Amino acid sequence: MDIRPRPEDCRRWLIEAGFTVADPIVNLPPYHYGLVGRMTTKADSHRAAIRVAQVAR
């Protein structure tokens, strides 16, 4: 599917938004995967959520 982002894309978006990728990408076959991102403070989390929304557009 061309519109489905790859796990590497999601990982890059997390990093660009200021998150630390806490764990490796987890494959959940056949169509899903999971990532864990961590933010240090609530203020950072709010700013990061805004950045993720802007990056994903």
Domain borders along the chain are 7-56
Residue 39 tokens read as 């933010």
Instruction: Please tell me the distance from the alpha carbon of residue 16 to that of residue 32, in angstroms, as a whole number.
Output: 22
| CA dihedral over 43, 45, 46, 50, signed as positive or negative | positive
Task: Indicate if the pLDDT at residue 1 is higher than 60.
Answer: no
Q: Which helix (H) or strand (E) holds 36?
A: none
Q: Which residues contact 4 (CB under 8 A, 6 or more apart)?
A: none
Q: What is the pLDDT of residues 5-47, one digit of tens each?
A: 888 998 998 888 888 888 888 888 888 888 888 876 666 666 6
